Chain A
Amino acid sequence: MLWALTALLAFQLAGEALVAWLQLPAPGPVVGMALLFIALIIRGGAPKALAETSRGLLSHLSLMFVPAGVGVTLHLTVLADSGAVIGVALFVSTLAAIAVTGLAMTWAMRLSKRKGGQE
Chain B
Amino acid sequence: MSDFTEIWVYLSSSPLLHLTLTLIAYQIGDWAYKRSGGLAVLNPVLLAVAMLVAVLLITDTDYGTFFEGAKFVHFLLGPATVALAIPLYNQLEQVKRSLPALLSSLALGSATGALAAIGIAWALGAGPTVVASIAPKSVTVAIAMGVSAEIGGLPSLTAMLVLLTGITGAMFGPALLHLLCVRDSRAKGLALGAASHGIGTARAVQIDETAGAFSGIAMGLNGLLTAAMLPLIWRWLF
Contacts and interface: CB of A to CB of B under 8 A. Distances in A.
A29 B73 contact: no
A33 to B, nearest CB: 5
B76 to A, nearest CB: 5
B49 A69 contact: yes
Interface residues of B, number: 109
Contact of B224 (A26, A37, A50): A26
Interface residues of A, number: 73
Contact of A68 (B46, B163, B176, B177): B163
Interface of A: 5, 8-9, 11-12, 15, 25-30, 32-34, 36-37, 40-41, 45-46, 50-51, 53-55, 57-75, 78, 82, 84-86, 88-106, 108-109, 111-112
Interface of B: 22-23, 25-26, 30, 44-46, 48-49, 52-53, 56-57, 63, 66-67, 70-71, 73-74, 76-89, 92, 98, 100-102, 104-106, 108-110, 112-114, 116-117, 120-121, 124-127, 130, 134, 137-138, 140-143, 146, 156-157, 159-161, 163-170, 172-173, 176-177, 180, 182, 184, 186-188, 190-192, 194-196, 198-199, 201-203, 205, 212, 216, 218, 220, 223-224, 227-228
